[in-house]
Amino acid sequence: MQTANSMFDPPVRMRAAVYRGGSTVRLEEIPTPRIGPGELLVRVESCGICHTDLKKIEHDLLPPPRVYGHETAGVVVAAGKQVSGFAPGDRVVAFHHVPCRNCFYCERKLYAQCETYKRVGITAGFEPAGGGFAQYIRVMDWIVPQGVERIPNGVSFDVASFVEPINTCHKAAEMAAPQPGETVAILGQGPIGLMFTMLAHRSGARLVTTDMIGKRRELSLRFGAESAWDPRETDVTGEIKKITSGRGADLVIVAASAQAAVDQAMACSRPGSRILLFAQTSDKERVEVSGAAICKDERTLFGCYSASADLQAESARLVFSGELPVEDLISHRFALDEIEQGFHMALHPDGQSLKIVVQPQRWSQ
């Protein structure tokens, strides 16, 4: 691979983890993206591994080839003509989706349903798919004006890569609207579940959580949960009813994709409660619930997906200010050539693994 003379003189070819179908990602050398008017070329320093991308790879949800990765932070190395507000050397995070703000769905703030929003606006090559699992990304012209945030001095790229996932959880938390004094159960305390715990704690609600991994339960307590239980060892429904005068939780956030978590949400929630599904992002996933538990018991079952443009600046502030201690979620940092190990660890978490960050400029060999 031809190497660059400096950060602002990118190589002609770069390294990337390319999805090739058959649940396979291969490390390859591919052309470094070229940018056009209104676009940015960003050198990727950190990219978090998200389960949404892992599902796309594992279940072959989209045709290859693609370079995934969308929790991206890096440095602008080139700015196309007509770009204003950004220049080489700027440290940035970039969102891979932005809405048109003019359509039927945008008028109702349902940005994730906007056709413009559904177009991915960042690529490392091939069909745009985020591109963060590569050394450089091209940020397209409709993303640059409203989908890029500067990283303040003193904030690491690893921490900055949390701006996008925090936004998705912040959006869902706003929709779920936990209230002071409500009992909120958050089922699953992986990285997403723990972000929900951080955010819900700010509402003044009473939080209880579940997870099968002890370290995650310990973090949950540190981030504001009153109790954190292993659902294999504790009668979660019974414990929640004890603290709610026999009623059940007012709000349940399901931050795990297993059917058992949905069953638990139905069992531990009260009539008239709200249940948020957040982890069911694949068309291949199915959930089954009692119709009477929704209709007769007047529960509200709803979903939330992706980020909100309206919360982008506030989500960045929550991360950059340290108000949300997201760095405590990082358990592993991998070089680009170790990405398969990172994928495996994210899909099969153990007692130590939590949020995994890929650093594409590093090469272990």
pLDDT tens digits, one per residue of 184-241: 999 999 999 999 999 999 999 999 999 999 999 999 999 999 999 999 999 999 999 9
Phi, psi of 258 (to 5 degrees): -75, 145
CA distance 136 to 340: 19
Task: Report the predicted TM-score, pTM, of the whole model to 2 decimal places.
Answer: 0.95
Q: Mind listing the pLDDT tens digit for each residue in 64-86?
A: 999 999 999 999 999 999 999 99
Looking at this protein, which amino acid is placed at residue 80?
Answer: G
Tracing tokens 């991360």 back to the chain, one arrives at 319
3-state DSSP percent of the chain in helix, strand and coil, to 5: 30, 25, 45
Q: Mind listing the pLDDT tens digit for each residue in 273-287?
A: 999 999 988 888 899
Q: Which of 5-9, 29-33, 37-41 has the lowest mean pLDDT?
A: 5-9
CA distance 326 to 166: 9
Q: Which among 118, 107, 15, 13 has a CA at the least distance from the CA of 67? A: 15
Percent of the chain with pLDDT over 70: 98
Q: Reduce the DSSP state of residue 335 to 3 states and report it.
A: strand
In angstroms, the Cα distances linking 257 to 69, 136, 173 are 20, 32, 18
